[in-house]
Structure 1
Amino acid sequence: MQFGINMIVPIFLCVGLGVFIYRRYGHPWLVILLFFLGAAAGFQNCYRMAQRLWQKKDTGKVKSDVKKDK
């Protein structure tokens, strides 16, 4: 469920912004461009979340939670 939300929200936000710009200034190509930008941002969110889950599964802790000893 979290992966879907991480993918859909950036797409909807970017497309919404693209539609707003299209209606306001008349640039229809920005809707398509912002859709792909939102899809890339959503993919990046899912990739980062998957990395954290795999890292947590392998070590038992998230990398940022591990304290460094001096």
Structure 2
Amino acid sequence: MPGKTKYNLVDDGHDLRIPLHNEEAFQHGINFEAKYIGSLDVARPSSRVEIVAAMRRIRVSEDTERSPV
């Protein structure tokens, strides 16, 4: 079995350009479980980093409201 060369170093599992699910799955729908944590008015995010930051702010604000003082 030949070893990896310097031109074959990409692992397709980490390539974001290759779709994770096929087109039929999107037509049928993808089911997943989710739990409502809370809501907050946030500005429209323009990147994934801002989306994650907004979700963290919501989670932290809900945790502080629920925690007994």
Which TM-score tier does this pair reach, normalised by the shorter chain?
Answer: 0.3 to 0.5
Which is richer in helix?
1
Normalised to the residue count of structure 2, the TM-score between the two structures is 0.37
User: Which one scores higher on RCO, CA 8 angstroms, separation ≥ 6?
Assistant: 1
